[in-house]
Amino acid sequence: MTSITGTNSISLLGAAHTALRTAVAGIPADGWDLPTPCEHWTVTQVLQHATGDQVGYAAAITGGPWPSEDPFQPSGRIDGDAAALLEQALALSAAAFATVHADAEQVPVPLPQGPLPLWVAAGACALDAAVHAWDIAVATGRPSPLTAPDAEQLLAVAKQIVEPLRAYGAYAAELTVAADADADATTVLLAYLGRRPEWTPQS
Residue pLDDT, tens place only, 108-125: 999 999 999 999 999 999
Distance CA 117, CA 154 (A): 15
- Domain of 14, CATH number, reads 1.20.120.450
Q: What is the pLDDT of residue 179?
A: 56
Of the listed ranges 42-51, 64-73, 134-143, 168-177, the one predicted with least confidence: 168-177
11 burial level (CB within 10 Å; 0-12, 13-18, 19+): middle
* Cβ atoms within 10 Å, residue 105: 13
Q: Establish if 172 belongs to a structural domain.
A: no
20 burial level (CB within 10 Å; 0-12, 13-18, 19+): buried
What is the DSSP code (8-state) at residue 178?
P
Q: Establish if 196 belongs to a structural domain.
A: no
When pLDDT is averaged across residues 126-154 and rounded to a whole number, the result is: 96
Q: Is the pLDDT of residue 181 over 60?
A: no
Question: 26: domain range?
Answer: 6-146
Q: Is the pLDDT of residue 1 over 90?
A: no
Q: Establish if 201 belongs to a structural domain.
A: no
Percent of the chain with pLDDT over 90: 88
Q: Establish if 194 belongs to a structural domain.
A: no
Q: What is the pLDDT of residue 5?
A: 82
User: Could you tell me the pLDDT band of residue 201, with boundaries at 50, 70 and 90?
Assistant: confident
Higher pLDDT, 143 or 182: 143
Q: Establish if 49 belongs to a structural domain.
A: yes
Give the count of domains, the chain. 1
Distance CA 97, CA 74 (A): 25
Q: Establish if 131 belongs to a structural domain.
A: yes
Q: What is the pLDDT of residue 58?
A: 98
When pLDDT is averaged across residues 128-157 and rounded to a whole number, the result is: 96
Q: Establish if 77 belongs to a structural domain.
A: yes
Q: What is the pLDDT of residue 32?
A: 97
Residues in the chain: 203
* Residue pLDDT, tens place only, 30-52: 999 999 999 899 999 999 999 99
Q: Establish if 154 belongs to a structural domain.
A: no
Q: What is the pLDDT of residue 2?
A: 60
Q: What is the pLDDT of residue 49?
A: 97
* Residue pLDDT, tens place only, 46-87: 999 999 999 999 999 999 999 999 999 999 999 999 999 999
Q: What is the pLDDT of residue 3?
A: 67
Give the predicted TM-score (pTM) of the model. Answer: 0.94
